[in-house]
């Protein structure tokens, strides 16, 4: 049992194993991408962390119907691949500050990747799902904590652990919406093994709730805008019908309206 897991470990997704004769040096060309100390707005939007062609991943995925529903729930927020937003950046910055970690991310997990809506301490915008620790975290109801990834058999061979950003400590709070779907995590990462104290754990959970509330607010504002646009279109269509009727009456009856 690692950290505060509530579910059995055999429900976790993925143990990454390097192919024979290949090791973390295969990823060294990408090490510098994780070295930025602050929020990055100029990262390449389609940049992906490389995975060797022979990389083996053992996965016990959720039932397809449940996973499809989760992905559909995530897509309804229309947030993937959008521009940085200050409201989310502030939450991630607070998470890193409170937990005293050099890295923090608001990570959203879709079919093939984890994508960072906001981030501190990293430059890449996404990593493949098969190397994502957040993939494990979204299977939990509570905080998912890995005190030392190098000592955890699920992660010790992960390229994000043996190579940059050299993850040792991870704590992620799953973003579970009102329908019970885990959309991603608010997570903090360190290059040294460690733990969070109770105040930090509670603060991370509080920030998780604020992140979810911000996502709901963002979605509701978008839906309201769409509804107002539809109403405006309908009103314009009715006005056009009235004008056309007036013109017809004038032509047929010679009326002045």
In this structure, is residue 244 part of a structural domain? no
- CA pair distance 30, 199, nearest whole angstrom: 35
Q: How many domains does the chain have?
A: 1
SS3 state at 118: strand
Whether residue 203 lies inside any domain: the answer is: yes
pLDDT digits (tens, 9 = 90+) for 142-191: 999 999 999 999 999 999 999 999 999 999 999 999 999 999 999 999 99
Predicted pLDDT at 215: 96
Q: Which helix or strand (DSSP H or E) is residue 115 part of?
A: strand 113-120
What DSSP element (H or E) covers 175? strand 169-176
Q: At what angle do helices 86-99 and 198-253 cross, to 10 degrees?
A: 170
Q: Residue 190 falls within a domain, yes or no?
A: yes
Q: Give backbone dihedrals phi and psi of 173, rounded to 5 degrees, phi first.
A: -105, 115
Domain at 55, CATH number: 3.30.450.40
Q: What is the pLDDT of residue 192?
A: 97
- 233 domain residue, yes or no: no
Task: Give domain status of residue 226, yes or no.
Answer: no
* Domain contains 109: yes
> What element of type H or E holds 93?
helix 86-99
Q: How confident is the model at residue 240 (pLDDT cuts 50, 70, 90)?
A: confident
Q: Which residue has the tokens 């004769």?
A: 21
Q: Identify whether 205 is part of a domain.
A: yes
Distance CA 190, CA 121 (A): 10
Residue 108 has pLDDT above 80, yes or no: yes
Q: Residue 23 gets which letter from DSSP?
A: -
Q: Would you say residue 163 lies in a domain?
A: yes
Residue 241, pLDDT score: 75
Q: Which residues form the domain of 111?
A: 9-218
């Amino acid at each position: 049992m690692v950290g505060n897991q509530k579910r059995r470990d055999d429900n976790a997704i993925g143990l990454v194993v390097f192919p024979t004769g290949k090791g973390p040096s295969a990823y060294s060309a990408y090490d510098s991408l994780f070295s930025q100390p602050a929020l990055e707005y100029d990262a390449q939007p389609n940049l992906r962390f490389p995975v060797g062609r022979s990389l083996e991943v053992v996965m016990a995925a959720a039932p397809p119907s449940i996973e499809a529903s989760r992905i559909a729930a995530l897509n309804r927020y229309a947030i993937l691949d959008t521009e940085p937003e200050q409201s989310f950046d502030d939450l991630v910055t607070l998470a890193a500050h409170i937990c005293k970690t050099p890295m923090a991310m608001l990570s959203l997990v879709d079919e093939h990747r984890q994508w960072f809506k906001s981030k501190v301490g990293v430059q890449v915008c996404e990593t493949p799902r098969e190397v994502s620790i957040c993939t494990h975290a979204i299977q939990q109801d509570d905080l998912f904590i890995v005190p030392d990834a190098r000592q955890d058999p699920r992660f010790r061979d992960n390229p994000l652990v043996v190579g940059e950003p050299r993850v040792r400590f991870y704590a992620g709070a799953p973003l579970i919406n009102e329908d019970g779907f885990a959309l991603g995590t608010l997570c903090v990462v360190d290059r040294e093994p460690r733990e969070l104290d109770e105040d930090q754990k509670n603060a991370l959970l509080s920030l998780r709730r604020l992140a979810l509330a911000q996502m709901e607010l963002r979605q509701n504002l978008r839906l309201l805008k769409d509804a107002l646009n539809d109403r405006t279109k309908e009103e314009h269509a009715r006005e056009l019908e009235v004008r056309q009727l007036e013109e017809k009456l004038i032509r047929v009856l010679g009326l002045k309206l």
